[in-house]
Amino acid sequence: MPAAAQAVPLAERTRRKISRRLVPFVFLLYIVAYLDRANVAFAKLNMTADLRFSEAVFGFGAGIFFIGYLVLEIPGALLVERWSARKWMARILITWGLCTVWIGFVRTPGQFYLARFLLGLAEAGFFPGIIVYMTHWFVSQDRARAMAGFITAIPVSLALGAPISAALLKANWFGLAGWRWIFILQGLPAVLLGLITIFYLTDHPREAKWLEPEERAWIAGELEAEKRRKRAAGHISAWQALRHRDVLLLAVALSCANIGSYAYAFWLPTTLRRASGFSIPVATAFASLPYVAGFLSVLWSGRDSDRTRERKLHAAIPLLVAAACFTLSALPGQPFPLVLLWLCLTSAAGYMFPPPFWVLPTLVLGESAAAASIGLINAIGNLGGFVGPSVVGYLLTSNYSYTTAMIFLACGYLTAGLLLLTVRIRRDPV
């Protein structure tokens, strides 16, 4: 080992190596994952006009993704815990990439529903699997920052996806409309990354040849010591975890937050076009600005949560702020710059809560129980991703005002924040 490396304390050196090896790659995977589930928002205006889909058809098709996602959520998280993260992640990436490409060829509502359902089924287990995977490599005091490192992929994927999709909307290659190319070209990277994942990811520190022997021993020892502390505090079985009061509260809170956040994403280009009167490509490109604000806020949230070792308020307060800003964005008669400001603040607040939120279940539960609970929380939480778009589509098709639909979504953020304040969570061990 070089003398310069030996001069760096073992703990710091090991943490840096793990972070540099894993976080950027997982970040890239999640960029592709989130873009493939949310790119339907960028295709929406042209797609619905071309296929004559109503707002209700679009909302149901956008939301049915989360019903498919529900089916394999808990088994997927447990497979990462008990089998192999890299093999399961590779399977997920390849199959969801192919399903995304298929959406580019749909022509009827039934085909749209089936393709989105299968996309959710294919991607199920990815996010909770990553959360569980992080517990194999990062001790609790480093976990929120590590999670923020890949959760930033959500706003980054949408900030990049907006201008790229706006450019693709103008394409008309081989007789296929631009909105179809959004799905085709944004689905193929997932297939390629799935093949790379098998060779790049490492399941556990003991298998990491890219760490020195003393580095492998240090991180393995730290993680084992953390497990012993949790066992000493009382073991909770996987079945008990699924009935745990705080696990259920976290699940319902996440579901309410997702009622707001997913519908916000799916209708953001439409909202901006209504407020500005811009063309579809220009309004779609403007959608990147709120996600830039979200990118900056999620970085701050993970760092500050780790610095203070406080999780609950770092998750709850931003949701309450998001509810207020989203409500203000829905008030009629405002100039476009003010609407855009409220939407940027909504995005910034909405993306602050996930890094500290996903540390919460790992603080009170054993390893397998935590894996099961993370799957349950994400499964129930993602039902909000079905409810929000479906209800908004129904409201708009039934001639309710746009303001009414947006205030409904703001209530999701509000309810989520209030529920999190009731969760009983112990502070991180020092």
What number is the average pLDDT over the span 153-172? 83
Predicted confidence band at 83 (pLDDT cuts at 50, 70, 90)? confident
Q: Each residue of 284-303: pLDDT tens digit?
A: 888 889 989 998 898 888 78
What number is the average pLDDT over the span 168-182? 89
**Which of 153-157, 218-222, 284-288 shows the lowest per-residue confidence on average (mean pLDDT)?**
153-157
**Token reading at 254:** 């996440």
Q: Each residue of 322-338: pLDDT tens digit?
A: 999 999 999 988 999 99
pLDDT at 136: 84
**Which of 19-28, 75-84, 304-313 shows the lowest per-residue confidence on average (mean pLDDT)?**
75-84
> Burial level of 7, CB count in 10 A (0-12/13-18/19+)?
exposed
Residue 3 pLDDT exceeds 50: no
pLDDT at 343: 95
Domains and CATH numbers, the chain: 15-420 (1.20.1250.20)
* Average pLDDT value over all residues in the chain: 85
Q: Each residue of 223-262: pLDDT tens digit?
A: 888 777 766 655 555 566 667 788 889 999 999 999 998 8
Residue 430 pLDDT exceeds 50: no
Which has more pLDDT, 172 or 235? 172
What number is the average pLDDT over the span 143-163? 77
**Which of 168-172, 177-181, 234-238 shows the lowest per-residue confidence on average (mean pLDDT)?**
234-238
* The one-letter amino acid at 264: Y
Predicted confidence band at 364 (pLDDT cuts at 50, 70, 90)? low
Residue 57 pLDDT exceeds 70: yes
Residue 112 pLDDT exceeds 90: yes
Residue 318 pLDDT exceeds 60: yes
pLDDT at 211: 92
pLDDT at 125: 76
What number is the average pLDDT over the span 204-222? 90
Which has more pLDDT, 69 or 347? 347
Q: How many residues does the chain have?
A: 430
Residue 131 pLDDT exceeds 70: yes
Residue 94 pLDDT exceeds 80: yes
Residue 376 pLDDT exceeds 80: no
pLDDT at 7: 45
Residue 395 pLDDT exceeds 70: yes
Residue 88 pLDDT exceeds 60: yes
pLDDT at 361: 79
Which has more pLDDT, 6 or 231? 231
